[in-house]
Structure 1
Amino acid sequence: MSEIACIDLFCGAGGLTHGLKLEGVNVVAGIDVEEACRHPFEANNEATFINGDVSKLSSEFVGGLFGDADVRILAGCAPCQPFSTYSHRYETAGTPRWGLLYHFSRLIRDTRPELVTMENVPSVAKHSVFSHFVEALQELGYHISQQIIDCTHYGLPQSRKRMVLLASKYEPIAIVAPTHSRATTVREAIGALPEIEHGASSEIDLLHTASRLSELNLERIRASRPGGTWRDWPEHLVAACHRRDTGRTFPGVYGRMVWDTPSPTLTTQFFGFGNGRFGHPEQDRALSLREGAILQGFPQTYSFVPKGQPVGFKGLGRMIGNAVPVTLGEVIGKSIRSHLDCVFGSVEEATTEERHSRVA
């Protein structure tokens, strides 16, 4: 019998699961609507991938996945796009993705796991759906902790802040204190990878592939300096939209990263030079897919596509950019293990009766 069993809803490529497993949290299954996530999730995590829509999952099915584990953890990192500041002009409260937190809440209410965790963009806390989610947990008797985490304080080489919620039926729970007094830099993360040109791939790692630049964008990146903007370019290279008054206040595109700082927050378009500050610090290209994955905390050996299958920028860029950083998964895993050790002394050594008796 496994004493701890975790189910990862909206598991994607397995970033959260991988981090949890590195901290000794047993993830038994991941669920995601994207079938393409099956290979990276299963190949790297020794857990079952279920291709399914969380909004259509029955509570009986999810509860059955826990088996006879005494400590059940339900993790859910619903797609963050509806809650991002940028998307507010496109997404409304009636958009289906907004309702995913309500379905997460439904599954919690029906299965009553001992522990719950979710993460999302910080602005999620401004929305009523999140308030309702927290209220539902309170009504069910959970002790709740929520905190905005700066991932650089835990070793992620990327400027990324996330709202993390932990809830426990046992007793108050908290995120572990920061582990790093100094931020990990881009150089430390990807500086040792082989040099490649734009449009080329590494012979030893096909995921270390960079998108091809047009002649104009090649000229632009050669005119770019680390940490600079398109405002540094000769006038003939500046895009027409940036010459207009409405575009002069948007310098955060067509930029090179800086070696000795963390990277900017990765998006699903990180492999494109014109989509943000995703130019390599010194090579004339945008980030490769592997570099993006490493900046998201994935090990360099993490497999995203089966051997022999083509590497597609759009699909893999979305998969990597949308992933929960592995480092954040480790933070959550470490927090859960610390909490359980406080509750039981050692969860592995506690008897079934002790584990059940501590539930509120």
Structure 2
Amino acid sequence: MQSAIDLFSGFGGWTKGGRNAGLNVLWAANHWPEAVEWHTRNNPDTIHACQDLHQADWSQVPKHDVMLASPCCQGHTKARGLAQADPKRDNSRSTAWAPVGNAEVNRPEFAVIENVPEFMDWVLYPAWADAMQRLGYALAPHIVDCADLGVPQHRVRLFMVCSRSRAPLHLQLPRFQHVPAREIIDFDAGKWSPINKPGRAASTMTRVKNGRERFGERFVMPYYGSGSGLTGRSLDRPIGTITTLDRWAVVDGDMMRMITANEAMAAQSFPANTLRPDNHRLTMHMTGNAVPPLAGQRIIEALIRAA
């Protein structure tokens, strides 16, 4: 097991994790030019394709031992609030067929497909699984909180291990000590503003009040949404899931701010020397979509041990 490709490569979490685990990532593809640009800057030795993978000519892809893939998850996650029959969801979910197309042509020994657990609730999941099985793959779903792999973030994801073996390959994943949010928060960084200022939502003020009562003067909390309820969370536990938008706020006494792009990248376990855009929103979007490199590394290390 030496070579790999990365489908829907995005910001490069799978590629970084694969390389740290000892794989040579030969080829990476994504439809978004911005993501391909930054993946190329961070991985100049990898061949890159910027294209809609629905239209890929898989015969032109280098032969590889492992296919790493993160088809679009937004059509599966319940957090989107869209109707199941919404055309946007349909288009998103259809990206899952690209790994099947590559598997049919190139037949790598292994594939690891990352998505949200709701992927297996998809009405077409039985057909997808049947297609992979007809191509000779045994499927072993692993639902993992990335915090258990040492990522400083609670992020529950499905890692579907597909192997050309008679029986499904169930990985023995060691459980690592959780990394607290305080290790990725820099209280000297960011743009702080007073908590008590005109325009603050009542729900924000309630979170601050409840957070202070539970955690003291310093803690993190969702600025919107229902995550962590109305209390926020302690800096002594991993931060909640990093999304593609500004979501998590840091409170320090009477001041607060949103987490910085560098903090979001650290929460995702990207190295500090990772090249990224100056544009905050673009960096947050790419970071929130990514596979945490450390999670990818430890999944692949377990796969290598089991193979």
User: Structure 1 length as normaliser, TM-score?
Assistant: 0.72
User: Aligned partner of 1:160: which letter?
Assistant: R
Q: Which amino acid aligns with 1:228?
A: G
Structure 2 counterpart of 1:296, from 268, 290, 300: 268
1:331 corresponds in structure 2 to 298
Q: CA deviation at 1:106?
A: 1.9
- Structure 1 residue 219: Cα displacement: 9.3
> Which AA in structure 1 matches 2:306?
H
How many Å apart are 1:91 and its aligned residue?
Answer: 5.3
Tell me, in whole angstroms, the C-alpha distance in 1 between the residues paired with 2:263 and 2:2: 33
Give me the CA root mean square deviation.
3.0
C-alpha distance in 2, partners of 1:268/1:213? 24
Aligned to 2:60: 61
Closer/same/farther in 2, CA of residues 223 and 83 from structure 1, 3 Å limit? closer
Residue of structure 2 in register with 1:175 after alignment: 171
Partner of 1:49: 48
What pairs with 1:81-230 in structure 2 (closer than 5 Å)? Answer: 81-87=74-80, 89-90=82-83, 92=85, 94=87, 95-170=90-165, 172=167, 173-180=169-176, 182-188=177-183, 190-191=184-185, 193=186, 195-198=188-191, 215-216=197-198, 225=208, 228=211
CA contact (8 A) 1:119 1:163 kept: yes
Residue 125 of structure 1 and its aligned partner are, at CA, apart by: 0.7
| Paired position in structure 1 for 2:235 | 259
Return the index of the structure with the highest Cα Rg: 1
Report how many residues are paired. 289
Q: Flag the structure with higher strand content.
A: 2
The one-letter amino acid paired with 1:322 is: N
- For residue 286 of structure 1, the aligned residue among 248, 258, 271 is 258
| Displacement of 1:262 | 0.7
- Equivalence for 2:68: 75
Normalised to the residue count of structure 2, the TM-score between the two structures is: 0.83
In 2: Cα distance, 1:251 partner to 1:115 partner? 35
Q: Which runs of 5+ in 2 are unaligned?
A: 213-223
Aligned to 1:355: none
Matched residues in 2 for 1:219 and 1:111: separation? 53
